[in-house]
Amino acid sequence: MNNVYPRSFSHIGLSVPDLDAAVKFYTEVMGWYTIMEPTEIVEDDSPISKKLFAHRSVSP
């Protein structure tokens, strides 16, 4: 059987309840490093924002 699976990846995004604790865990325990500091996503009228914030829509 030929197992096909990713052997590497270029980046990852995570949603966590405690950002400081998560950064500490992934850097100190897992040995990962931060490429880009965490950012806050702000809702706007762009198509990607509409997808990200779709759960906020109120059904009639």
Residue 6 in any domain: the answer is no
Residue 5 in any domain: the answer is no
pLDDT at 56: 66
pLDDT at 31: 93
pLDDT at 39: 77
CA end-to-end span of the chain: 51
Mind listing the pLDDT tens digit for each residue in 1-59?
Answer: 577 776 777 777 778 899 899 989 999 999 988 888 877 778 888 888 887 777 765 55
Residue 12 in any domain: the answer is no
The model scores a pTM over 0.75: no
CA distances to 14, 26, 42 from 50, rounded to whole Å, are 19, 30, 11
Count of domains observed in the chain: 1
Residue 28 in any domain: the answer is yes
Residue 41 in any domain: the answer is yes
Domain that holds residue 27: 19-56
pLDDT at 60: 47
